[in-house]
Amino acid sequence: MPTAKSENYAIDEVIVEDSLVGIYKARYLPTNAEVAIKKIKVGRHGEYTDWAEPAAENEMQMLRKLNHPNVIKLLDSFYTTDSKVAVLVFELMYADLG
């Protein structure tokens, strides 16, 4: 279920997607800036409930505190209205680590 914040983003491309996490190339619509979005299914009644939500919350808290040129910056984070998906918005990295 979308939130007011999620309506500010448009997904352009799937980078990787599995049963728990998806990473997407997207745009922040007010400025048309390219971003990367990571969606983590945390659920409320699913098999991931016990560990996924605390793990997502820990990741968000740690990334908010990081400020280093070698670390991709977390720009925004929120949960969908139904609290089943944690959404993390990052700077888009224009490189392949492979």
CATH number at residue 63: 3.30.200.20
Q: How many domains does the chain divide into?
A: 1
Residue 98 lies in a domain: no
pLDDT in tens, 10-61: 999 999 998 888 999 999 999 999 999 999 888 755 555 567 777 888 888 8
pTM to 2 decimal places: 0.81
Domain that holds residue 58: 6-91
Task: Supply the pLDDT for residue 53.
Answer: 75
Task: Supply the pLDDT for residue 3.
Answer: 56
Residue 96 lies in a domain: no
Residue 95: which pLDDT band, with cuts at 50, 70 and 90?
A: confident
Residue 45 lies in a domain: yes
pLDDT at 1 over 50: no
Residue 72 lies in a domain: yes
Contact 20, 48 (CB under 8 A): yes
